[in-house]
A and B are shown apart, each in its own frame.
Chain A
Amino acid sequence: MQNLTFGRYIPSNSPVHKVDPRIKIISSILLFGFIFSAKNLLALIFVFLALLGVVLLSSIKLSKFLKSLKFIIILAFITNFINFIFEIFALHKNIFDIEYYIVLNSCITLLKLISLIFISSVIMYTTSPTGISSAISSLLLPFKYLGLNTEEIAITITISIRFLPILLLEAKNIALIQKSRGVSFDGKNIFLKAKTLFFISVPIFVLSLKKAHELAAAMESRCYNVNSPRTKYKILKFKQEDLVAIIYIFVIILGVVICNKIKI
C-alpha cells in the first residue's frame, strides 16, 4: 500500500496541466464512450498508446505513474480473470478447449478497463481540486435553471476526490498499527485476508466521518454558504493548449472509428 497515490494532484507546468479542466472532463467522457464502443484489439492498442503519450507529456514519470496504479491494475486483472472463467463455464467449455475469441474478448475487456483507469488517473494527477470543482460547476450550469444546486454537487465531488489519498494514507498507518498488534496481512488465505480488512475498514470509516464533521465545522467557521454567489480566483478561459487538446482527442476518436472498421 506504500505507493498508493491515486487521486493525488501532482503540480507541474506541463501542457497537460495547462489544459482547461472542462475540456479534460468532456474529452474523458467522450473517450469513455468510444473505448466502450471499441470492437477490436487494434482500436484499443491505438487508444492505449495515445494515452501513454498524454502521460509522457504530463511530465509525470511513467514508472511512478504505473507504480501508483499497480494495485488497481492488479484488481483489473483479477476481475478480468474471474470474467474469463465465468465465460468458459457459461459456454460449457473445457478449460483446455478454449477458443481464440474468448481469449481475445478477455484481452479487449482488460485493455478497456486499464484505459479507463489511465484516463481518470491522468485527470486526477494533472488537475487541481479547485480546477475540478470549477469545471464541474461550470459544466453543470445548465442544470441550475432546472433548480439543481450545482455548486453543492461540485463541492461534494471535489471533496470526495480530495480526501481519497488522505484516507489511503490513514489506511496505511492503521495497517501498520494493527500489524504491530499481531495481525498478519501477508497470509495467502483469501478469507483470512478479507477478515483482516475489517480491522482497517472500521477505523477508516470512523475516521472519515470524523474528518467530514471537522471539515464541515471548519467551512462553517469561515462562513461558507453554498448558496451565496462567489467570485473565482482563476477564471477558466479558452487557450491555445485547449485547441491542441481538442485536436488530439479528435484524432484519437477518429483513430478508434477507423480501427473499428478494420477487420482482423
Chain B
Amino acid sequence: MIQIENICFKYNNDYILKNINFSISDGEIFGIIGKTGSGKSTLVNILSGLAKPIEGEIIVDGQNIYNKKENKNLLSYKISTVFQNPEKQLFSKTVYDDIAFSLRNQNISESIINKDIKEIAKFLNISSDILNASPFHLSGGEKRKCALACALVTKPKILILDEPISGLDPYTTEKFINYIKDYHHKEKNIIIFVSNSANKFSYLCNRILTLGSGKIKILDKPENIFEKCKKLGFTAPNIWEIISLINQNGYNISTKISTTKQLQEQVLKLIKEKEAKNKPCKI
C-alpha cells in the first residue's frame, strides 16, 4: 500500500504540487491525469523517490521512502518507473545488457539475471535476435518494449508508467496495454499510470486522480471521471463518447466497454433486437 501524505513541492518559489493526499491499495491500477504543467511528472519523480518534496511523506508498506536507510532498497526492488520516451535510457551494446543493467546494479548473480531475462523476454515476446541486437537498431515500438522489459525484469511491487503510450501507433498501443494487463493479472502489483488525457489505458484503472494547477481536482472511478471530462478540460476515450451518444437516444450500452470489438458486438445485438421487434408476424 502507498500512502501519499500532504505532499508539497516548490520550484523557483512556485508551488508545483500543493497538499496532495491519497492512498493506493495493493493490486490497484491507479490513473493520474492532468494537463501539461499540472505537476504529473513531478509527482512521478516524487513517487519514484527521485525528487524530494519540501513537505509531506510517501509511505510504502509502512516505510517512508525518503528515509535514507530504506530509500535505495525501495528504489531498486520495489519501485520501477517507465518514463516518457523511455527509449532515451538505452545505451548498452545489446538489448540483453540493457535489460540486465538494473539487475547488475543490485549485484544479482549472472545465472539468475539470465533466467529472469529469458522469462521477461518470453512474456513480452522479445526474440533472441532482438535480445542480441543493438538497442539503437530497434524500431520505436520495440525500443518501448525493451524499456518496459527493463522495468519489469526487477519484478517491482510498484510499477509507474509515465505517458506509456504516447507516440505509439494503435496496434502497438493495444499490444502494450495487453502486456500490462497480463502482467498485472500475473503479479497483482500496484500500477500507476500517468497521462494527459483519458485514453484507452484509463479503462484498466480502478480509480483515476485528476490533477490541475498542482492540486487534486477529482479522485473517482473511471466512468465517473469520463462523464466530467469535458468540464475538466480533458478528452474522454473515443469509445466512451460514442457509447454516451448512443445512450442519449434511449439505449443502454454498458459504459465499461473499452474495445471496438465489444462495442461492435453490443451495437449488433441492439440492431438484432430492434429488427426482431419490427418483424411482421407470419400467419
Residues of A within 8 A of B (CB): 170, 173-174, 176-184, 198-199, 202-203, 206-207
For residue A132, give the distance in angstroms from its CB to the closest CB of chain B. Answer: 26
Q: Can you give 25 A-B contacts (C-beta < 8 A)? A: A173-B88, A176-B45, A176-B50, A176-B83, A177-B86, A177-B88, A177-B89, A179-B75, A180-B75, A180-B80, A181-B105, A181-B150, A182-B75, A182-B76, A182-B102, A182-B105, A182-B106, A183-B105, A198-B91, A202-B91, A203-B89, A203-B90, A203-B91, A206-B91, A206-B136
Per the 8 Å Cβ criterion, residues 68-85 of B in contact with A are 72, 75-76, 79-81, 83
Q: Counting chain A CB atoms within 10 Å of each CB, which of B83, B91, B150 scores highest?
A: B91
Residue of B whose beta carbon sits closest to that of A200: B91
**Given A176-B50, A206-B136, CB of A181 within 8 Å of CB of B89:** yes
Bound complex: CA of A182 vs CA of B90, how far in Å? 14
Report chain A residues within 8 Å CB of B234: none
Residues of B within 8 A of A202 (CB): 91
Nearest 10 interchain pairs by C-beta: A182-B105, A202-B91, A181-B102, A177-B89, A180-B81, A182-B76, A182-B102, A203-B91, A177-B83, A176-B50
Closest Cβ–Cβ distance, residue A188 to chain B (whole Å): 15
- Of A170, A176, A180, A181, most buried by chain B (CB within 10 Å of CB) is A180
Question: Does B48 contact A180, Cβ atoms closer than 8 Å?
Answer: yes
Q: How large is the interface on B (under 10, 10 to 19, 20 to 34, 35 or more residues)?
A: 20 to 34
Residues of chain A within 8 A of B89, CB atoms compared: 174, 177-178, 181, 203
User: Could you tell me if B88 and A203 are in contact, using CB atoms closer than 8 angstroms?
Assistant: yes
Contact residue among A180, A198, A199 (Cβ-Cβ distance under 8 Å from B83) = A180
Q: Does any Cβ of A come within 8 Å of B101's Cβ? A: yes
Alpha-carbon distance A180/B76, docked complex (angstroms): 7
CA–CA, A237 to B11, complex, Å? 40
Secondary structure at the B interface, as helix, strand, loop or mixed, is helix
Q: For the complex, give the distance between the alpha carbons of A184 and B68 in Å.
A: 13
Interface positions, chain B 105-151, Cβ under 8 Å from A, are 105-106, 136, 150
Tell me which residues across on chain B come within 8 A of A184, comparing CB atoms: 72
A170 to B80 Cα, complex, angstroms:
20
- Interchain CA distance A173-B45 in the complex, whole Å: 11
Q: Which residues of A contact B50 (CB under 8 A)?
A: 176, 179-180
A192 vs B88: C-alpha distance when bound (angstroms): 22
Is the CB–CB distance between B91 and A199 below 8 Å? Answer: yes
The smallest C-beta distance from B156 to any residue of chain A, in angstroms, reads: 10
Residues of B within 8 A of A174 (CB): 88-89
In the complex, what's the smallest C-beta–C-beta distance from B88 to chain A, in angstroms? 5
> Who on chain A is nearest to B76 by CB?
A182
Known: A177-B88, A180-B50, A181-B150. 14 other contacts (CB 8 A): A173-B83, A173-B88, A174-B88, A176-B83, A177-B83, A177-B86, A180-B48, A180-B83, A182-B75, A182-B106, A183-B105, A184-B72, A203-B91, A207-B88
Partner of B88, one of A170, A179, A181, A182: A170
B167 to chain A, nearest CB (A): 14
Cα distance A174–B48 in the bound complex, in angstroms: 14
Q: Which residues of A contact B45 (CB under 8 A)?
A: 176
Chain A's closest residue to B106 (CB) is A182
User: Cα distance A181–B75 when bound, in Å?
Assistant: 8
Q: How far is A199 from B97 in the complex, measured between Cα atoms in Å?
A: 12
Chain A proximity mask over B87-104: 1 for CB below 8 Å, otherwise 0: 011110000000001100
* B90 cross-chain contacts in A, Cβ below 8 A: 203
Q: Chain A's nearest CB lies how many Å from the CB of B159?
A: 12
Q: What residues on A are CB-neighbors of B86 within 8 Å?
A: 177
Residue of B nearest to A209 (CB): B136
For the complex, what is the distance from the CA of A182 to the CA of B50, rounded to whole Å?
11
- The smallest C-beta distance from A70 to any residue of chain B, in angstroms, reads 16
Chain A contacts for B136, CB-based, 8 A? 206
Q: A207 to chain B: which residues have CB within 8 Å?
A: 88
Chain B minimum-CB-distance residue to A64: B12
A181 and B48 in contact, given A174-B88, A203-B90 (Cβ under 8 angstroms): no
Give complex CA distance A222, B45 in Å.
38
- Shortest Cβ distance from A201 into B: residue: B91
